[in-house]
């Protein structure tokens, strides 16, 4: 039997991809413990609700157990007999108390349970937003202070601390896109739909990664013998010009698809037009500012590659996005 792995957040956007890949991941023959095995990993998924037969994931060496990050007893049961923890669960865009209960206190309880159970490696998914709102241009590991702004990023930064204090590894992507995305591209399309013409975002550069590459990086961090404790930025090495990101989102906006384009709206004009729309101001702040994180260690150390650049990567997921937006 290969390493015994527990995955949290397995019903979510990113955790779901990790769960789907885990039992057959090529790196599952590498284990962080001395007892290396060529056999597949055993995978345990933590879910808040009992699974239905159609909701089971993975192969024969996968089981789903019921538990909740707010229930320490369930976390102790879930961690029993586990070698590797991959923590992908989080509360995003929710009220501050729930964010604190899940991202901060829940992560602390999970790490405590993992340490008590003798887990040999802890890997957690976080976010580059723990550094605040930039500008960040080719920011290297270890060069930025933690300066979270929102309740979500503050509590995720707090959760990181428990993982790092336990000798674990934290992966910090910036923007994640792909099949199952309910935040990045939907948010941008919603922003563009509120404007009378396409948005001219300027010249900023942004770090992105597609969900499949991120899932492979999380599994690589869990299973590669070269994984180091501490934080990694995990994004495609080539930053994406804001013009490319906005063009992809504009192509999903059904009401303007194929229509003649008028003069683009620049960022200052968009701010004025949407002055009373908080979500739009947040997106405009992000788009107007460089958010480029430079870290090649994931692709050298975690046994996987970053996948295609944004143009090719988005094209692979575009049919799913179009189906979703055309139906809305």
pLDDT digits (tens, 9 = 90+) for 16-60: 999 999 977 765 443 333 333 445 579 999 998 765 544 445 555
High-pLDDT (> 70) share of the chain, %: 89
Angle at 235 between CA 231 and CA 237, to 5 degrees: 115
Q: How far apart are CA 138 and CA 151, in angstroms?
A: 26
- The answer to whether residue 142 scores a pLDDT higher than 90 is yes
Tokens of 80: 């029993």
Look at residue 35 and tell me if it is in a domain: yes
Confidence band (pLDDT; 50, 70, 90) for 98? very high
Residue whose entry in the numeric block shows the structure tokens 């909701």: 55
Look at residue 251 and tell me if it is in a domain: no
pLDDT of residue 112: 98
Query: Domain of 72: which CATH number?
Result: 3.40.50.720
Count the domains in the chain. Answer: 1
Mean local confidence (pLDDT), 97-119: 98
Note whether 45 and 5 are within 8 A (CB).
no
Mean local confidence (pLDDT), 138-147: 96
Confidence band (pLDDT; 50, 70, 90) for 138? very high
What 3-state DSSP class applies to 221?
Answer: helix
Beta bridge partners of 64: 45
Note whether 84 and 121 are within 8 A (CB).
yes
pLDDT of residue 301: 94
Between 59-63, 188-192, 268-272, 279-283, the lowest mean confidence (pLDDT) is in 59-63
Look at residue 63 and tell me if it is in a domain: yes
Q: How far apart are CA 192 and CA 250, in angstroms?
A: 7
Q: What is the pTM of this model?
A: 0.92
- The answer to whether residue 227 scores a pLDDT higher than 50 is yes
Look at residue 280 and tell me if it is in a domain: no
Look at residue 201 and tell me if it is in a domain: no
Question: Using one digit for the tens of pLDDT, what is the confidence trace for 176-190?
Answer: 999 999 999 999 999
Look at residue 118 and tell me if it is in a domain: yes
Question: Using one digit for the tens of pLDDT, what is the confidence trace for 313-323?
Answer: 999 999 999 99
Mean of per-residue pLDDT scores for the chain: 90
What 3-state DSSP class applies to 146?
Answer: coil
Q: How far apart are CA 13 and CA 192, in angstroms?
A: 23
Confidence band (pLDDT; 50, 70, 90) for 71? very high
Look at residue 22 and tell me if it is in a domain: yes
**Residue bearing the bigger pLDDT, 10 or 33:** 10
Question: Using one digit for the tens of pLDDT, what is the confidence trace for 275-308?
Answer: 999 899 999 999 999 999 999 999 999 989 999 9
Which strands form 205-206's sheet, in the order they lie side by side? Answer: 136-139, 291-293, 205-206, 240-241
Q: How far apart are CA 302 and CA 290, in angstroms?
A: 27
Domain that holds residue 47: 4-181+208-237+293-307
Look at residue 173 and tell me if it is in a domain: yes
Looking at residue 189, the DSSP 8-state letter turns out to be H
Closest CA to 113 of 65, 149, 147: 65
Between 28-37, 89-98, 141-150, 166-175, the lowest mean confidence (pLDDT) is in 28-37
């Amino acid at each position: 039997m290969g390493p015994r792995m527990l995955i949290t957040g397995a019903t979510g956007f990113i955790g779901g991809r990790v769960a789907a890949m885990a039992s057959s991941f090529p790196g599952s023959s590498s284990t962080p413990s001395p007892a290396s095995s060529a056999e597949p990993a055993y995978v345990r998924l933590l879910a808040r609700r009992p699974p239905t037969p159609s909701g089971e994931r993975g192969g024969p060496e996968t089981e789903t157990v019921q538990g909740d990050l707010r229930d320490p007893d369930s976390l102790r049961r879930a961690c029993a007999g586990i070698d590797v923890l991959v923590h992908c669960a989080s509360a995003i865009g929710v009220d501050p108390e729930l964010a604190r209960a899940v991202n901060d206190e829940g992560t602390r309880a999970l790490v405590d349970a993992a340490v008590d159970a003798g887990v040999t490696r802890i890997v957690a998914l976080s976010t580059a937003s723990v550094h605040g709102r930039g500008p960040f241009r080719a920011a290297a590991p270890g060069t930025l202070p933690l300066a979270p702004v929102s309740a979500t990023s503050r509590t995720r930064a707090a959760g990181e601390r428990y993982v790092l204090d336990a000798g674990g590894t934290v992966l910090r992507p910036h923007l994640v896109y792909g099949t199952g995305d309910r935040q990045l591209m939907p948010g941008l399309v919603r922003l563009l739909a509120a404007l009378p013409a396409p948005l001219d975002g300027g010249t900023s550069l942004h770090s992105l990664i597609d969900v499949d590459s991120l899932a492979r990086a999380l599994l690589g961090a869990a299973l590669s013998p070269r994984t180091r404790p501490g934080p990694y930025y995990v994004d495609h090495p080539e930053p994406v010009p804001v013009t490319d990101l906005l063009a992809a989102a504009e192509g999903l906006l059904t009401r303007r698809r194929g229509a003649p384009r008028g003069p683009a709206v620049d960022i200052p004009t968009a701010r004025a037009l949407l002055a009373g729309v908080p979500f739009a101001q947040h997106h405009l702040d992000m788009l107007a500012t460089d958010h480029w994180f430079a870290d090649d260690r994931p692709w050298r150390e975690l046994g996987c590659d970053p996948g295609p650049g944004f143009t090719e990567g988005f094209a692979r997921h575009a049919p799913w996005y179009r189906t979703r937006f055309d139906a809305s």
